[in-house]
Amino acid sequence: MKATIVTIGDEILIGQIVDTNSGYIAKALDRIGVQTLEMLSISDDKQHILNTFSSLQNKIDLVIITGGLGPTKDDITKKTFCDYFDDVLVVNQDVLSHVTEMIEGFYKRPITQLNKDQALVPSKCEVLFNKVGTAPGMWMKKENTVYISLPGVPFEMKYIVDNVIIPKVVKEYKRPYIVHKTILTYGQGESMVAERIETWENNLPEFIKLAYLPNPGRVRLRLTARGENEEMLKKAIAENVLSLSKIIGDIIVGFDEEETIEVVIGKLLQQQGKTISTAESCTGGKIAQMLTSVAGASNYFRGSVVSYATDTKISVLGIDAEVIKKHSVVSAEVAEAMALGIQKLMKTDYAIATTGNAGPNKGDTDAEVGTVFIALITPKEVIVEEFNFGQPREKVIDRTANKALEMLQKEILKNALS
């Protein structure tokens, strides 16, 4: 099956809000073997919506639309559906009862006509019940294409996708299997990784595709296999991941989207009963944010100090002002002092510190733009490394955070084996 996801709303096109719905829907479809061919964002214009529907007719199996189902005049999706399907709006009594209960029972206010109009749906549609909101979804088929309309509010959209659409598609349609495996690598760029695995990549079976997903300081390799035999696909993926691990095992830190390096670090720290703290300057708390994005991080993450200003490094982390004056705020000596200061303050086994010049200007340091020092305190030693991550500013911050976690993971593993 092939799908197109359409988001309706001028607020998306002018950048007022970011479309997160399409990614969620695409992932949900992918898990059941439905391939999303494209994602479209279109304006709240009746003719443009009609033209989009017409252009997809009989070319796509599923067209999933989000947005435009609210009670106000600018929400025109339901009326546009009626035009496209030569239909009329009617009151759905089940939806009306639900809306009335939500407005009067939960929100404790009188229901208005606008609220009641939420129960208006095309007479030919199959209503997709929205238990967590007032706007129902709609399922309508024209010739070989199914059009599904969903509310744009993310939590309402997710409820209908997970509880109504996915089970319905699984039950009513035969689909191929799609198996993914993501390998997370840190420390080498995309071109270097590609060069190392070129022979392996050239020998992949035709039904397995490889995609490179690079970020500053890390590269994800995603293997995708499509076919009718799920067990065969999983076996082939596992065999090729094993052979890949023998080639670049030194830079692989985890597998699958959920097993990021911060997840791996968290598991290692918990297994060893160790703790971590961070003192960040140029990264502005990004490392702490990454570590605490993992559920259960409070078991090993003690805290962080974002010592962005020089006087904060002195007053909070206890760095000698003469050290800063002698070596400059962006230096190996200051990075080490920051790491030792946060370790002492938080009483942790490991500590990370970053100081650098992320740009675009030099600020109160003579260090070249892009220069970064990362200090790592382990139970056995102090490690300080210097890098230059170039520009732009966002790249410097991302690469610094990723490199710091890469260094931390390697040292935790090293200490576990010693």
Looking at residue 362, its pLDDT comes to 64
**What phi, psi does 164 have (nearest 5°)?**
-125, -60
**What phi, psi does 372 have (nearest 5°)?**
-140, 140
β-sheet bridge partners, residue 356: 372
Residue pair 269/240 in contact (Cβ under 8 Å)? The answer is: no
Architecture of the CATH domain 177-255: 2-Layer Sandwich (3.30)
Q: What is the largest CA-CA distance in the chain?
A: 80
Residue appearing with tokens 């509880």 = 163
Structural domain spans, the chain? 2-172, 177-255, 261-417
Q: How far apart are CA 201 and CA 259, in angstroms?
A: 23
pLDDT at 255 exceeding the cut of 90: no
- Does the model's pTM come out above 0.75? no
Looking at residue 413, its pLDDT comes to 86
Report pLDDT digits (tens) over 180-227: 999 999 888 899 999 999 999 999 999 999 999 998 778 999 999 999
Q: Report which DSSP code applies to 368.
A: P
State the distance between the two ends of the chain, measured CA to CA, in whole angstroms: 52
Q: Where are the beta strands (DSSP E) in 134-240?
A: 137-142, 145-150, 177-186, 208-215, 218-227
Residue type at position 285: G
86, HSE (Cβ side, Cα atoms, 13 Å): 1
Q: How far apart are CA 185 and CA 188, in angstroms?
A: 8
Portion of the chain with pLDDT greater than 70, in percent = 97
Report pLDDT digits (tens) over 108-132: 999 998 889 889 999 999 999 999 9
pLDDT at 418 exceeding the cut of 70: no
Tokens standing for residue 29 = 């479809």
Report pLDDT digits (tens) over 277-296: 999 999 999 999 999 999 99
Looking at residue 176, its pLDDT comes to 87
CB atoms within 10 A of CB 382: 14
Looking at residue 217, its pLDDT comes to 77
pLDDT at 336 exceeding the cut of 80: yes
Tokens standing for residue 203 = 């020998």
pLDDT, mean over the chain: 92
Lowest mean pLDDT among 221-225, 362-366, 377-381: 362-366
Report pLDDT digits (tens) over 27-69: 999 989 999 999 999 998 999 999 999 999 999 999 999 998 8
Give the homologous superfamily in CATH for domain 261-417: CinA-like (3.90.950.20)
Lowest mean pLDDT among 70-74, 156-160, 248-252, 395-399: 70-74
Looking at residue 365, its pLDDT comes to 66
pLDDT at 355 exceeding the cut of 80: yes
Q: How far apart are CA 252 and CA 141, in angstroms?
A: 46
Architecture of the CATH domain 2-172: 3-Layer(aba) Sandwich (3.40)
Report pLDDT digits (tens) over 286-326: 999 999 999 999 999 999 999 999 999 999 999 999 999 99
3-state class percentages of the chain: helix first, strand second, coil last, to nearest 5: 45, 25, 30
